[in-house]
Amino acid sequence: MRKSARCARRHHRQDTELVTRFSLRADVSSDDLAAVGPVLAQMVGDAVITQSPGGLHVEGVMDGAGARDVNRRLLSALRRAEKRTRLRAEWTGGGQVCRFFDYVPKSTRASGDCGTP
């Protein structure tokens, strides 16, 4: 396995599925930011949550099988707290950068910084 592929690997889940650590940069807008703020703080590790003109800006990390998986888990949890919540997210991990608007993948590209000190 190349070093760039190993850089984001964290551990095995049930010895069959590799779990990748993804870093997150996202903007969250909602009708009730007070309800989604605590969910963000609980779900996103090392979360830095700041107020932005359109809602909340969050940076942190999450572990999962893929970018689609962690994006779906986060947005589903946010929408359980407040149904009218939007998520514009950029997930970096496993040598890729994936951008999403809500559940919809918008783009995927290779990460240039994975594996560099």
> How many CB atoms sit inside 10 A of residue 61's CB?
18
Give me the percent of the chain exceeding a pLDDT of 70: 80
Residue 84 pLDDT level (bands cut at 50, 70, 90): very high
- CATH class in words for 3-108: alpha beta
**Which tens digits make up the pLDDT trace of 11-69?**
444 445 689 999 999 999 999 999 999 999 999 988 999 999 999 999 999 999 999 99
**Which tens digits make up the pLDDT trace of 94-113?**
899 999 999 999 999 997 65
Would you list the DSSP string of 24-57?
EEEEEEES-HHHHHHHHHHHSEEEEEEEETTEEE
Tokens 């590790």, residue located:
45
For 1-117, list the strands marked E by DSSP. Answer: 9-13, 17-30, 45-52, 55-64, 85-93, 96-101, 104-110
* Annotated domain spans of the chain: 3-108
Residue 31 is given by DSSP the state: S
Higher pLDDT, 101 or 8: 101
Q: Residue 11 has what pLDDT?
A: 47
Q: Residue 111 has what pLDDT?
A: 79
